[in-house]
Amino acid sequence: MSQGTPHVEDVLGTVDRRLWRRILGHARAYKGAAYAMMAGGVILAIVESLLPLVTGLLIDAVIGEASTSRITWLGVAYAGLSVSFCVIVWWFIVAAGKLATGLAHDLRQASFQRLQELEFAYFDVQPAGWLVSRLTSDCRKVASLMPWFLLDLCWGATFLVVVGGGMLLIDWVLGLCVLAVVPVLVLVTIFFQRKLLRSSRLMRKTNSELTAVYNEGITGLWTTKSLSREPENIGEFQTVSQSMCNYSMRNSIETSIFLPIVTSISGMGVGIALWVGGVQIQDGEGLSIGMLIAFMQYAVLFAMPVRELAARISDLKGAQAAAERIQGLLDREPEIADSEEVKSRITAAAAGQRHGSAADGGDHRIEAIDFRDVSFWYKPEEPVLEHLDLSIAAGETIALVGPTGGGKTTIASLLCRFYEPCEGGIFINGIEYRKRSLHWLQSSLGIVLQHPHLFSGTVARNIAYGQPEATMEQIEAAARTVEAHDFITQLADGYEFEVGEGGSRLSMGQRQLIALARAVLADPQVFVMDEATSSVDTETEHHIQRGIEAILEGRIAVVIAHRLSTVRSADRILVIQGGKIVEQGSHEALLKADGAYQALYRRHFAGS
């Protein structure tokens, strides 16, 4: 929860003035709707500003017993303005809906696409709740604000100019009385902007933590109940929830204080104008009754765009933190990606790709993988691998054994290019793999983990997850290869059986067989198995082992071994300790060597 959540200093950082301009850039696809809203705001402001004037003229015409035709024309003008008002409101509501829903869709799509591109290291430090919050509440908050902010900005600015000018034309003295409060309003708004930005950022940060707690509480339910840790979980949740409540309350109080203060200050100008205008009428001077009513309507209406703009500014500050998070995610460049040189070769190869070549124009077939002086660390002072040299040839199966934390999984992850060496290089057919296509390499892999993840859906869909175009015959053939077909056909709906979220309706062994079938269907050149049989029973292990043996011929296989059966079948066994290869050879040779492997075998494998 706390590992990847931004610190308070990050949350309260300096506002990027270019941020909202960049957010607006995402709405280019909906510029028609945006322009319609902005034009609607300007036209609406003009229509609204004409209504008080027509009302005042109509009152003076009636009081002054003007001609019937003049009164009729003024009445028709008033009715026409009222109808126009309704049509324009309908117009910008439709445009706002199109802009808000379209922008939310595009932001979610772009954010999700960027998450698919980012390297594993990014997800090591970002909790799932934080990421889910970006794709849901943050996108929704920014998208829902955008149309109304554009509308109120155009409408409010136009309305202030037209109404302010109208008041000065009707009576410049009364107009200055109303406009005198504007500098005070500006100062109050600036003060509260800073307050609201701080509280809204803290509120969004805590909301991400709250989402992370929800996620961990649900996914870790079995562990929580098995350890009877419900009270502690509730206490941790209450702590975060209380922080969310406090920050939300602070933000609500600041907003609640801000708007009434703006209204009160605006009302002061109206009160002064009403007092001065009333005195003038008593003295028989100044405006007619109709024009005074029109002026007072202008004075009252003048406060309305100020309030609306202040509210939109408040909303903008509330959404600023969300916008920063979304744009920050979109700006995050993957640390592991194809170089410009590789992209150029992919483009050139697509124009005239030769038969049998990969998408980047290189050899499609993987004949050898070489680790040359490879070192890796998450923190420089804590190396995980040090100056590792390792060569693997096509058709060879190597087993990695050794104590936990020795670097076995890191070697496999580096081979898959989920991470990249900090020093040294990994070469495929003699070419450093950063000079080859990332997609080509990872599409050449078949990976089976100790705890495989299945997606909600059917068994068939999960087997074909990496090959969605696979036929039912191909899916069944893959299942038969790993000896999963028999148990699948015994399920209620066979291959159409719904596995549940994460495969919860299947046993661990059944999930493992489906994951293996999924890897087989992809027909990979390189198999990576991270203790694939350590969580299954002996019978299922035999099924998996026979399936593995049937598909490894001619392929490179890297197996992080836990059980004796897997170790024995490997062509070469590597003992990894402290990030180094301390011993390697066949099972029989290493037992005779009376070294680290024999000691490990006696401790861990002899009882297998």
pLDDT in tens, 134-183: 788 888 888 888 888 888 888 888 888 888 888 888 777 777 777 777 77
The rounded distance, in Å, linking the Cα atoms of 290 and 293 is 5
222: phi then psi, degrees, rounded to nearest 5? -65, -45
Write the DSSP string, 341-356.
Answer: HHHHHHHHHHHSPPTT
For residue 428, what pLDDT is reported?
93
Residue type, 333: E
Distances (CA, A) of 16 to 19, 131, 150, 312: 5, 21, 19, 18
pLDDT in tens, 29-64: 888 888 888 888 888 888 888 888 888 888 878 887
Beta bridge partners of 529: 448, 559
For residue 8, what pLDDT is reported?
38
% of the chain exceeding 90 in pLDDT? 11
Closest CA to 102 of 143, 148, 151: 143
pLDDT in tens, 418-431: 899 999 999 999 99
- Name residues whose C-beta falls within 8 Å of residue 497's C-beta, 6 or more positions apart in sequence: 458, 459, 488, 491, 505
* Residue 477, H or E segment: helix 472-481
pLDDT (average), residues 52-79: 82
Distances (CA, A) of 541 to 419, 434, 526, 529, 560: 30, 36, 21, 13, 15
For residue 436, what pLDDT is reported?
92
Write the DSSP string, 290-309.
Answer: HHHHHHHHHHHHHHHHHHHH
Q: Confidence band (pLDDT; 50, 70, 90) for 497?
A: very high
Residue 377 C-alpha from the chain's centroid: 27
Query: Does residue 226 carry a pLDDT above 70?
Result: no
Closest CA to 267 of 294, 302, 305: 302
The rounded distance, in Å, linking the Cα atoms of 474 and 544 is 19
27: phi then psi, degrees, rounded to nearest 5? -95, 10
Helix axis angle for 31-63 and 289-331, nearest 10°, is 170
Mean confidence (pLDDT) of the chain = 80
The rounded distance, in Å, linking the Cα atoms of 365 and 358 is 8
pLDDT (average), residues 553-575: 79
Query: Does residue 194 carry a pLDDT above 80?
Result: no
pLDDT (average), residues 468-474: 90
The rounded distance, in Å, linking the Cα atoms of 240 and 234 is 10
Say if CB 491 and CB 410 are below 8 A apart.
no
User: Beta strands of 315-439 (E only): which ranges?
Assistant: 368-379, 382-393, 397-401, 423-428, 431-432
Closest CA to 395 of 601, 571, 272, 270: 571
The rounded distance, in Å, linking the Cα atoms of 130 and 207 is 8
Q: Say which range, 231-235, 377-381, 564-568, 573-577, has the weakest mean pLDDT.
A: 564-568
Domains and CATH numbers, the chain: 18-331 (1.20.1560.10), 395-419+434-605 (3.40.50.300)
Query: Does residue 316 carry a pLDDT above 70?
Result: yes
Distances (CA, A) of 600 to 25, 411, 547: 60, 19, 27
- Residue 238 is encoded by which pair of tokens? 């209450």
- Residue 591 is encoded by which pair of tokens? 């037992």
Strand bridging mode 423-428 / 368-379: antiparallel
% of the chain exceeding 70 in pLDDT? 84
For residue 4, what pLDDT is reported?
41
Q: Which residue has the higher pLDDT, 337 or 310?
A: 337
For residue 11, what pLDDT is reported?
38
Beta bridge partners of 528: 447, 558
- Residue 248 is encoded by which pair of tokens? 């939300």
- Residue 511 is encoded by which pair of tokens? 């999930």
Residue type, 370: D
pLDDT in tens, 272-301: 766 766 666 665 565 677 777 777 777 777
In the chain the first and final C-alpha atoms are separated, in Å, by 38
Write the DSSP string, 432-457.
Answer: EGGGS-HHHHHHTEEEE-SS----SS
For residue 9, what pLDDT is reported?
36
Query: Does residue 379 carry a pLDDT above 80?
Result: yes
Produce one character per residue of 547-562: b if its CB has 16 or more CB atoms within 10 Å, e if not: bbeebbeebbbbbbbb
Closest CA to 198 of 116, 321, 339: 321
- Max alpha carbon distance in the chain (Å)? 121
Write the DSSP string, 10-36.
Answer: HHT----TTHHHHHHHTTGGGHHHHHH
- Dihedral (C-alpha) 354, 360, 365, 366: value to the nearest 10 degrees? 160
For residue 414, what pLDDT is reported?
92
Q: Confidence band (pLDDT; 50, 70, 90) for 473?
A: very high
